[in-house]
Amino acid sequence: MTTETYTVTGMTCGHCAASVSEEIAEIAGVEDVDVVVETGAVTVTSAAPLDPAAVKAAVEEAGYAMA
């Protein structure tokens, strides 16, 4: 089990958090995604370490950017 925290910019509401969570959850091996809109913190728990490029692509697909 691996947990990584990323910083995502541009989120302002619960809908933003849900969009980011849904996209990241589609990455193979992801077990949990926790988003804190106020800080931009996105904590991802996965079965194995994730490719940061895959996480970045998922965040961008949701319409946001990683800091």
Task: Give 28-62 pLDDT, tens digit per residue.
Answer: 999 999 999 999 999 999 999 999 999 999 999 99
State the sign of the Cα–Cα–Cα–Cα dihedral 9, 20, 16, 39. negative
pTM value is: 0.94
How large is the greatest C-alpha to C-alpha distance in the chain, in angstroms?
30
CATH-assigned architecture of domain 2-66: 2-Layer Sandwich (3.30)
- Give alpha helix (H) positions in the chain: 14-25, 52-61
| Domain residue extents for the chain | 2-66
